[in-house]
A = this chain, B = another copy of it.
Amino acid sequence: MLDERKLKILAAVVDEYIVTGEPVSSKTIASMHNIKVSPATVRNDMAMLEQLGYLEQPHTSAGRIPTYSAYRLYIEKLMPQRQLTPEEKSRLDRAVDEVEVPTEDALTESASKALAELTNCTVVASNASPQFSLITKVEVIPTGRRMYVLLMITSSGSIKNKVCRLEFDLSDEQLKFFSGYVTENLSGMPVEHISDSVLDKLAEAMGAYMVTLSPLLKGVSDLAKGFRGGDVHLEGERNLLARKDLSPDEALRFIEEKDRLTMLLDDSFSSLQVLFGEDGNFIVSNSSVIMSPIRRGGKTLGSLGIIGPLRLNYAKVIPYIEYLTQRITEAISEDEPPAVGMMPDAEDNDEKK
Contacts and interface: CB of A to CB of B under 8 A. Distances in A.
A271 B199 CA distance: 47
A250 to B, nearest CB: 12
A171 B101 contact: no
Contacts of A101: 147, 163-165
Interface stretch (A3-11, A20-28, A136-144, A276-284): A136-144
Contacts of A344: 142, 169-172
Interface string A113-144: 00000000000000000000000110101111
A162 to B, nearest CB: 9
A141 B139 contact: yes
A225 interface: no
Bin the interface of chain A by size.
Answer: 35 or more
A256 B336 CA distance: 38
A77 interface: no
Nearest to A238: B252
A304 interface: no
Interface string A31-63: 000000000000000000000000000000000
A253 to B, nearest CB: 9
A153 interface: yes
A168 B143 CA distance: 28
Contact of A256 (B238, B338, B348): B238
A211 interface: yes
A226 interface: no
A168 B339 CA distance: 15
A136 to B, nearest CB: 6
Given A145-B342, A168-B351, A170-B349, 5 more contacts: A103-B163, A145-B339, A173-B346, A238-B252, A241-B248
Interface of A: 100-101, 103, 106, 136-137, 139, 141-145, 147, 149, 151, 153, 157, 159, 161, 163-165, 168-173, 211-212, 238, 241-242, 248-249, 252, 255-256, 336, 338-339, 342-349, 351, 353
